[in-house]
């Protein structure tokens, strides 16, 4: 099988491509715009295999997308290309609308034209897998978990743009009969994650002795999923998911943000005993909360577990230990990012309007 992966140079996309090349017999065409968040070196170990073809381009460019479909002739699409950082969506929402909504629609339209041109077995096996987030469902109370039937209630420009793209994907499936599948995942973490996200940001700031900013009281709860486990789930949904269905992918590892930060600090205390900043927990600083910050997310993964037989292999403890160790072993990688593209500053500080 040849799979077109959009956003394959990103954090989750690169993990997916590494999994496909190392653990399966499939080939990959990677269509990526290579934005600031494309982690350098994330595909280095598979680039020389002859199994990955890279196409630099924007999903918002219909001509480029059409050309890639025509030349690559993929058997399936896994659509990951997106702007993904909530804080950045607060500062600049229109870029999220352009890529996540308009770009997805352009990709869908070109995929439909390509699929319509197929015949026989090629047409029957084609799938379009749209990858989304649990944030489209909004905020949970202290109990319960999101299912595939949960009501959409996005709170940020990012989650609203992903919710819109989910709806368009379903519309293409229902209106045109295109064989689509969707997945909505919980918070990912692992190697090569751009250090604007919580876990890598806490690691790199703690190692430099900088303050560790925790929004509000740190009581916001997220379900955490190791990125390699997510990659295996994505391929399972593509290969075995029922057309028209969606699948929630979670690690069943709920933690408050403060618990996550404290666990990172404890691991750094253990793994860097000579650090002059131990105990690293003393660096924690509570800052003003983010506008529209959802209190709690939790995923019920029963459908993907029972229907497709997928389960995560990493616990939060084992996955986080691997992640911290990776960042310790790859200081030049994130050091270059901090020196150039992103210095660890806070984003998304637009004040929420008063009631």
Query: In which residue are the tokens 């806070």 written?
Result: 346
Instruction: For residue 144, give the CATH number of its domain.
Output: 3.40.50.720
Does 216 reside within a domain?
A: no
**Active site (annotated) includes residue 158:** yes
DSSP annotation of 146 reads B
User: For residue range 159-212, what is the model confidence (pLDDT) as tens digits?
Assistant: 999 999 999 999 999 999 999 999 999 999 999 999 989 999 999 999 999 999
Q: What percent of the chain stands above pLDDT 70? A: 97
Does 284 reside within a domain?
A: no
Average pLDDT for the chain: 95
Q: pTM of the prediction?
A: 0.94
Does 48 reside within a domain?
A: yes
Instruction: Give me the mean pLDDT over the 218-239 stretch.
Output: 97
Contact 184, 132 (CB under 8 A): yes
Distance CA 156, CA 247 (A): 22
Query: In which residue are the tokens 């949904």 written?
Result: 237
Q: What is the extent of the structural domain holding 142?
A: 2-190+225-252+297-313
Does 38 reside within a domain?
A: yes
Does 37 reside within a domain?
A: yes
309 by DSSP, 3-state: which? coil
Does 345 reside within a domain?
A: no
Instruction: Give me the mean pLDDT over the 35-55 stretch.
Output: 93
Quickly list H helices, the chain: 11-23, 44-47, 62-72, 86-91, 93-96, 104-117, 120-125, 157-176, 198-207, 227-240, 257-271, 302-308, 316-329, 331-339
Closest CA to 131 of 186, 172, 91: 186
Does 289 reside within a domain?
A: no
**Active site (annotated) includes residue 135:** yes
Counting the structural domains of the chain, the total is 1
User: For residue range 8-20, what is the model confidence (pLDDT) as tens digits?
Assistant: 999 999 999 999 9
| Per annotation, catalytic residue among 75, 83, 134, 196 | 134
Does 214 reside within a domain?
A: no
Contact 99, 60 (CB under 8 A): yes
| Per annotation, catalytic residue among 32, 87, 158, 229 | 158
Instruction: Give me the mean pLDDT over the 278-297 stretch.
Output: 94
Q: What percent of the chain stands above pLDDT 90? A: 90
Contact 190, 322 (CB under 8 A): yes
Question: What per-residue confidence (pLDDT) applies to 353?
Answer: 45
| Per annotation, catalytic residue among 87, 135, 254, 294 | 135
- Please give the torsion angle defined by the CA atoms of residues 78, 44, 319 and 303, in that order, rounded to the nearest 10 degrees: 10
């Amino acid at each position: 099988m040849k799979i077109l992966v959009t956003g394959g140079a990103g954090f989750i996309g690169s993990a997916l491509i590494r999994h496909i090349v190392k653990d399966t017999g499939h080939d990959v065409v990677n269509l990526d715009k290579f934005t600031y968040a494309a982690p350098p070196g994330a595909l280095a170990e598979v680039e020389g295999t002859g199994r990955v073809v890279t196409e630099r381009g924007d999903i918002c460019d219909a001509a480029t997308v059409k050309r890639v479909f025509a030349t690559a002739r993929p058997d399936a699409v896994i659509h990951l290309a997106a702007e993904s950082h909530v804080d950045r969506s607060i500062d600049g929402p229109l870029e999220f609308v352009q890529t996540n909504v308009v770009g997805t629609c352009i990709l869908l339209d070109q995929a439909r034209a390509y699929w319509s041109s197929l015949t026989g077995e090629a047409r029957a096996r084609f799938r379009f897998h749209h990858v989304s987030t649990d944030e489209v469902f909004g905020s949970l109370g202290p109990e319960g978990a999101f299912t595939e039937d949960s009501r959409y209630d996005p709170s940020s420009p990012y989650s609203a743009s992903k919710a819109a793209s989910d709806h368009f994907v379903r519309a293409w499936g229902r209106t045109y009969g295109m064989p689509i599948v969707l997945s909505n995942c919980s918070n990912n973490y692992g190697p090569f994650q751009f250090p604007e996200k919580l876990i890598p940001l806490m690691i790199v700031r703690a190692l430099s002795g900088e303050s560790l900013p925790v929004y509000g009281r740190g009581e916001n709860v997220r379900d955490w999923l190791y990125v390699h486990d997510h990659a295996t789930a994505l391929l399972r949904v593509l290969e075995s998911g029922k057309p028209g269905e969606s699948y929630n992918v979670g690690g069943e590892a709920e933690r408050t943000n403060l618990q996550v930060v404290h666990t990172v600090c404890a691991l750094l205390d253990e793994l860097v005993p000579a650090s002059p900043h131990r105990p690293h927990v003393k660096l924690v600083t509570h800052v003003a909360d983010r506008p529209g910050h959802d209190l709690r997310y939790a995923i019920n993964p029963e459908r993907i577990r029972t229907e497709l037989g997928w389960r995560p292999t990493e616990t939060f403890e084992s996955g986080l230990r691997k992640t911290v160790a990776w960042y310790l072993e790859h200081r030049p990688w994130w050091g270059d990012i901090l020196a150039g593209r992103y210095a660890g500053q806070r984003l998304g500080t637009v004040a929420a309007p008063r009631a």
